[in-house]
Structure 1
């Protein structure tokens, strides 16, 4: 057997076929496809907020602030603008192609099978690695909470990965296992638990903002951009890691009531809440603490609270809030990963076991267990700084493809029903593409090498497996 020909690279899955096999036009209460529709607007917006708030604010400030100084606030604005432009593109595609595969499915419908697999590589990198990354951050805050309440902490050897001062990150692995169990039990239970945790985390962050502003000093912003424009761009690429949760909304397309209306509304609502919270926390934190002190600071927000108040209880509350918050981030990013792999398996790109759904819980149990194992290995053995940049590059490339997809679908299927249309078309998707490319250009060459190698591996897998097992190819009679 030779390599797949041009026809295989470019074959596209009709949007009408996606809608038909998933029940995208089902009325509330209808169980479309193989997954159960059980998520409403509030829970779906909470999935986006839950996957996003916490990922960056609770620990990425310590990674990004040394790159840009106080101008990291501008980095957050740049990342938010990029996320906002892309969220509008996601909203249109999600309303037109309301399925579980997120930008993988959008690419399959607009750019072809090979491009879809390239995007799938980005999404796997985005969610698998981000789940591990936030689990590592959870370990830091759990130690801070235990130390401030009962005076104990996990040994250093069991609190960090090799290369980060440890041997194995046990708390991070425990978190992944807890999330795996909850996801296996059912999507309704997971969405409800996440919504509760979102309310708690927002309350805790607002408490932080209120207390931090009592120690606000304008002098901390005097040397605003000590590392120049390049530092601002580099930090923007790093903190974009904080906005990946917006993509998670679109992975729930097959489990949402009235997806054509609910998906775009939830995306926009999540974006507004996330951006407001991030800017409030970033400005208040930088005002309360000189920027050089952020470098290498573990459980940063809790440490700032201890310094500001001179009391233990605010730091305990922040640490507890972070433990709850990052739990919800890990839960949602793992959920998103399982739904993407589920969609790929249903299309024939991955072995059929990954689209097998439990008749009791109506969840893809084998996929969830495999994802949980992969995330646990990464969380236990890979340092945080390596993980964060890999997430950013995967996310930005996937976001670029979504923006391109809006333009392509407008041309190839202009009459397709859309519950939302990007305002300012075609300027908005073009600006989104430019912004994503700007941010990704600031990432290190090592990150690029790892990323390109990973995408190449996934495309090779497609060439030898996916292209020959694709349901679309079998339907067209291209394979025996």
Structure 2
């Protein structure tokens, strides 16, 4: 804690240094906004989102993808506003878990921790099991399981290198996938077959007639939901808060830049495909619409090169998510949110690489084990958890303003220049509050309503409710009986590792 005589500039510098030495951990504060954005975008993997989720959306919702992904982009930016304000107030490693636990309390934090603990390794497994499908265009006969295990092992090893090395590695891969998206956009816009005004009337393929038919409001809402899932991941910037310079201001920028770039990187090529496809009926009826458009527009040889680039993009995403998942477990261990015998080794940071190696390896082992779970179970187990995470973030974005108001009132009576500097360092405040979290909650509510009305989603929703319920049960049975953990999770030591 700074003395009352410490000048504000020195206080900020001290906080920046303290963020690297939390509870004996030594994370390296060596990332700028750009490095953080490179890793975050790599975890989102816009190219694989366009080919996989975007392709599925084209098949299901036709030209409704334009409105669906456009509206989803607006909602995603509003959720990014929530992340940005929360992260500037609590720039702590651990992602959603750290934000929610500090603002809504340790019970909600435990629920979000369980969501991440389960979903992140499963997402890595899902991505890894799909790598063979794309590498198969160049290397025939690849075994999906064997390929997945090798890819995860290599990704986890890479994730144990220092953070700047990972920023460079993921940045190089990211350049390749952005080039693939730029090619898609170029192919569509160079050979425009229909004006953008034709996309304003949502139409989808009618399986009965083989022609186009108007897309109902329910289908459009589902397209929006698909877009939200496709853009997901910009909140990943928060995982690297303690490794980002001038974190209180920089993390908000990293979140907002990541969200904005993701929306453009996915919406523009999908719009180009809709405008440039020779036949919308053929496009929507194809088993793999984006690959079909690419092959028809650029030829088989170019398609093979691009599909290999998508495989590299997926590997890149696995590296980035391995980095995030390691910091989730590290942050929870450092908060003593688990028994000391488990927490102590997981909270250790390598003296050489300044990375939470043990926590990263443990999460990698969980991802390796998840590869042996049936693929449809993996999808169901991760399908509805995102809506819960966003719901907690939106609720926290409401609550954080009340916390800020209390702090501002306290600092107004303080005579310490350090207290005044700390109050001034609260950071980013979202525009139009409380509209962003309110609209986000409405969108999340719509996702839940759709899920409840669709029996096909009941299993996914049930698993998600079970994970959240397990988190609250963990709090009730263990965490609330741990004074040390509650002290940290209420944010009492946040100055020690925020900047």
TM range (shorter): 0.7 to 0.9
Distance 1:248 1:439 in 2: 22
- Whether the 8 Å contact between 2:173 and 2:312 is mirrored in structure 1 is yes
Offset at residue 474 of structure 1 (A): 7.0
Matched residue of 1:356: which SS? coil
Give the aligned partner of residue 445 of structure 2: 437
Q: 2:162 aligned to 183, 186, 190, which one?
A: 186
Distance 1:107 1:321 in 2: 36
Shift of the 41–253 alpha-carbon distance from structure 1 to 2, 3 Å rule, reads same
Give the aligned partner of residue 273 of structure 2: 285
Q: 2:398 aligned to 407, 411, 420, which one?
A: 407
Asked if residue 396 in structure 1 is aligned to residue 387 in structure 2, the reply is: yes
Offset at residue 465 of structure 1 (A): 3.5
- Whether the 8 Å contact between 2:188 and 2:273 is mirrored in structure 1 is yes
Asked if residue 364 in structure 1 is aligned to residue 334 in structure 2, the reply is: no
Give the aligned partner of residue 143 of structure 1: 136
- Whether the 8 Å contact between 1:303 and 1:315 is mirrored in structure 2 is no
Shift of the 360–470 alpha-carbon distance from structure 1 to 2, 3 Å rule, reads farther
Asked if residue 330 in structure 1 is aligned to residue 306 in structure 2, the reply is: no
Give the aligned partner of residue 9 of structure 1: none
Give the aligned partner of residue 37 of structure 2: 45
Shift of the 64–313 alpha-carbon distance from structure 1 to 2, 3 Å rule, reads same
Q: 1:446 aligned to 451, 454, 459, which one?
A: 459
Matched residue of 2:428: which SS? coil
- Which segment is superposed worse, 422-431 or 133-142? 133-142
Q: 1:274 aligned to 262, 267, 280, which one?
A: 262
Offset at residue 349 of structure 1 (A): 1.6
Q: Which runs of structure 2 are paired with 1:203-214 in the superposition (5 Å)?
A: 203-214=179-190
4+ residue runs over 6 A deviation = none
Shift of the 140–407 alpha-carbon distance from structure 1 to 2, 3 Å rule, reads same
Q: Which runs of structure 2 are paired with 1:14-413 in the superposition (5 Å)?
A: 26-27=15-16, 31-33=20-22, 34=25, 35-52=27-44, 53-146=46-139, 152-154=140-142, 158-159=143-144, 169-218=145-194, 224-225=203-204, 226=213, 227-287=215-275, 288=277, 290=280, 297=287, 301-309=290-298, 311-350=299-338, 351-352=342-343, 353-383=345-375, 387-388=378-379, 390-413=381-404
- Whether the 8 Å contact between 1:119 and 1:398 is mirrored in structure 2 is yes
Asked if residue 426 in structure 1 is aligned to residue 418 in structure 2, the reply is: no
- Whether the 8 Å contact between 1:85 and 1:428 is mirrored in structure 2 is yes
- Whether the 8 Å contact between 2:64 and 2:223 is mirrored in structure 1 is no
Offset at residue 291 of structure 1 (A): 5.8
- Whether the 8 Å contact between 1:144 and 1:153 is mirrored in structure 2 is no
Shift of the 55–95 alpha-carbon distance from structure 1 to 2, 3 Å rule, reads farther
- Whether the 8 Å contact between 1:32 and 1:254 is mirrored in structure 2 is no
Count of residue pairs brought into register by the alignment:
434
TM-score (norm 2): 0.79
Offset at residue 377 of structure 1 (A): 2.8
Offset at residue 448 of structure 1 (A): 0.7
Q: 2:480 aligned to 448, 467, 470, which one?
A: 467
- Which segment is superposed worse, 213-222 or 457-466? 213-222
Distance 2:93 2:258 in 1: 18
Distance 2:70 2:384 in 1: 18
Q: Deviations over 1:399-454 (max 9, x none)?
A: 22222212212112322532210101122221122122223433322211111122
Distance 1:71 1:361 in 2: 47
Shift of the 120–424 alpha-carbon distance from structure 1 to 2, 3 Å rule, reads same
Shift of the 442–145 alpha-carbon distance from structure 1 to 2, 3 Å rule, reads farther
- Whether the 8 Å contact between 1:46 and 1:195 is mirrored in structure 2 is yes
Q: Deviations over 1:120-160 (max 9, x none)?
A: 223334423322222233232111243xxxxx232xxx33x
Distance 1:97 1:475 in 2: 12
Q: Deviations over 1:355-412 (max 9, x none)?
A: 22222222222221121122223345432x6545654522222122222212212112
TM-score (norm 1): 0.82
Distance 2:14 2:282 in 1: 53
Query: How well do the aligned residues superpose, as a CA RMSD in angstroms?
Result: 2.8
Matched residue of 1:252: which SS? helix
- Which segment is superposed worse, 226-235 or 316-325? 226-235
- Whether the 8 Å contact between 1:36 and 1:362 is mirrored in structure 2 is yes
Distance 1:199 1:25 in 2: 36
Shift of the 250–473 alpha-carbon distance from structure 1 to 2, 3 Å rule, reads closer
Distance 1:232 1:387 in 2: 26
Q: Deviations over 1:270-315 (max 9, x none)?
A: 12211111111212233426367557835x5444322223x33210
Q: Which runs of 5+ in 1 are unaligned?
A: 1-22, 147-151, 160-168
- Whether the 8 Å contact between 2:149 and 2:368 is mirrored in structure 1 is yes
